[in-house]
Structure 1
Amino acid sequence: MTEQDDWEREFDHRWAESAEHKEPSARARMLAARWKESPPDPAPFRADADPVPRRASWASTAVVVGCVLAVMVLIGFVQFHSSY
């Protein structure tokens, strides 16, 4: 047999998916046993522990406008001095 035949025989996904009984993973079995003894508290899906406070949007706007103005002044200064 070739190496490719061994690979196909070892990783035959169609055969594995057609199995009548599928055993849960080790983690699923562990959690089921743990939760049987002490079930977890209900929690919303992906809830943030502490909401992050939003920064003032005017601060970032002021930084962007200031940078644009500084670049415009620098370009004007360079063009003014290069015309002499």
Structure 2
Amino acid sequence: MSEQGDSEREFDIKWADEAVHKEPSARARMLAERWKHDPPGPVPFRPEPDGRRHGRRLRGRGSGRIRGERSPWVSVVIVFGFMATVILLLGYADFRG
């Protein structure tokens, strides 16, 4: 490392990353202290859905669609339609030229 003053070395990120001991975050310290007295219970790998998933309804529930939601097949049709249009336009341009 080049000659640096103490104030510059203090904020050097490489120097900080190479530290042997890293202090845990405030949240980690808070949870460790809380769990000493009251350990958390078991948590399932995938919790039961509560009826909403990222702003969408679960499949099979409800009859209508939520505003802005569309089938994944619509995206597939749009992509293939765009590709077919480009291919046809390129073929037409080659045919004319």
TM-score for both structures, normalised by structure 1: 0.47
Quick check: which one's helix share is greater? 1
**Bigger relative CO (Cα 8 Å, ≥ 6 apart):** 2
Larger Rg: 1
TM-score (norm 2): 0.41
